[in-house]
Amino acid sequence: EKFKKGLAKTRNSFSTKINDLVAKYREVDEEFFEELEEVLISADVGVHAVMELIEELEMEVKRRNIKDTKEVREVISEKLVELYYGEDDEEEVEGLHEEEGDLTVYLFVGVNGVGKTTSIGKLAYQLKQEGKKVLLAAGDTFRAGAIEQLDAWGKRVGVDVIKHNAGSDPAAVVYDGIQAAKSRKADVLICDTAGRLQNKVNLMNELSKVKKVISREIPEAPHEVLLTLDATTGQNAMSQAKTFSEATDVTGIVLTKLDGTAKGGIILAIRRELEIPVKLVGLGEGVNDLETFDAHAFVYGLFA
């Protein structure tokens, strides 16, 4: 239901166009596939992924001897799910890794304005609702206002925030966060970081310093490095994903503002081209508007 609501814009554009196509063409032919290709590309599914999808659709349609475009709709949704999972046969919902009975550490990375702080706040709220003790570390010491903003989220959702002054060393904040989390027996520590992209070497150095501080204290941590991307920025999000995944081992994507775009197809492109799973999606500005990504629910949401 949440996916359905949050995907309204993508669905309206996507589903309407596909329905129009189905009505217009009735019979599956070359032109039908050509127009379908355009619809998918305009939803930001990504050119490579679309080519692949169309090719597979054409084969499947031949194999099953499908003539009626109405039946193709079914095949399209099947293939979209397959497109997301690629070689992965499991088709599992990939939630966040959690350490049972031990401290779990999540590191959030991403550029300003993508919705990083908001996502951290929402996640903290949800984990707290599940009965977990959560702590936040204000590791974005660079952007003016970032510490206060995270602090405000902490107050809003009732979670403590470990912070230093603006301009201080992010690694030191994160170190303090871990010590506090350990002594307070927290279940989850969520660390914010600054996402300066101007200089890749700096970004790499800063992130690796923060990661080192964490893994020195807890060898398996951080358990997730979550890159936050803004779905409304389309191909920009793709290039950010490339840069960050070159700078550090990103374990999952948090894709925000899906509710604000008709180009939700970006999810498929990211997973396909960068082989990074989308773990969480932002579907609005409220505390409850963060969902674990589920490709079946997503594709269903596109057509429902």
Is residue 284 involved in binding ligand GDP (CB under 6 A)? yes
Could you give the CA distance from residue 94 to residue 134 in angstroms, rounded to a whole number?
21
Question: Annotated binding residue at 116?
Answer: yes
Q: At what angle do helices 116-129 and 146-157 cross, to 10 degrees?
A: 20
Is residue 256 involved in binding ligand GDP (CB under 6 A)? yes
- Choosing from 12, 55, 285, 288, the residue that interacts with ligand GDP (CB under 6 A) is 285
Is residue 109 involved in binding ligand GDP (CB under 6 A)? no
Binders of ligand GDP among 258-277, rule CB under 6 A?
Answer: 259-260
The closest of 140, 144, 208, 137 to 174, measured between CA atoms, is: 137
Cβ atoms of residues 257 and 266 within 8 Å: no
Question: Annotated binding residue at 229?
Answer: no
Which residue number, 54 or 287, has a Cβ lying nearer to ligand GDP?
287
- Give me the 114-143 binding string for ligand GDP, x by CB under 6 A, dash otherwise: xxxxx-------------------------
Could you give the CA distance from residue 154 to residue 157 in angstroms, rounded to a whole number?
5
Question: Annotated binding residue at 112?
Answer: yes
Strand 290-292 and strand 188-191: the pairing is unpaired
> At residue 65, what is the residue type?
N
Question: Annotated binding residue at 113?
Answer: yes
Tell me the sheet residues that pair with 281.
255, 291
H or E segment at 226?
Answer: strand 224-230
Question: Annotated binding residue at 169?
Answer: no
- Shortest distance, CB of residue 128 to ligand GDP, whole angstroms? 18
Residue positions forming the annotated binding site for GTP:
110-117, 192-196, 256-259
Site residues for ligand GDP per CB under 6 A: 112-118, 256-257, 259-260, 282-285, 289
